[in-house]
Amino acid sequence: MLNYAGTPPLAAMADADSRQLIAAELRSLIARIDLSMRLIDAAMTPEDMTPEDMEPKDDSASAGSNEIFVLDDITPRFATASAALNACRAELDHALQQLSESDSPA
């Protein structure tokens, strides 16, 4: 059985106050997801490469040839985690939008 003894009584709060608390929590979760996504992106980008290094070069002797990228065994896991976080963020954005729409009078 669940113990709600330490839980604040949200039912006793004004509707607007409880919506503001929920919205603040959703924004906090979105910010944490954004941070996690930035950390994953940083882990997937080698430290010694700049964004210019990642762009294909047309002036090289091998222009037009297929470039080969070697991925380590962790990269697919990072990509999967990033996709999952992106989906979570989209759902949280949707929940926040629905909550804000319920704030405005119909």
Q: What is the pLDDT of residue 1?
A: 44
Number of helices (H) and strands (E), helices first, in the chain?
Answer: 3, 0
Whole-number Å distance between alpha carbons of 21 and 27: 10
Contact 23, 99 (CB under 8 A): yes
pTM of the model as a whole: 0.61
pLDDT digits (tens, 9 = 90+) for 1-31: 455 556 565 555 667 788 999 999 999 999 9
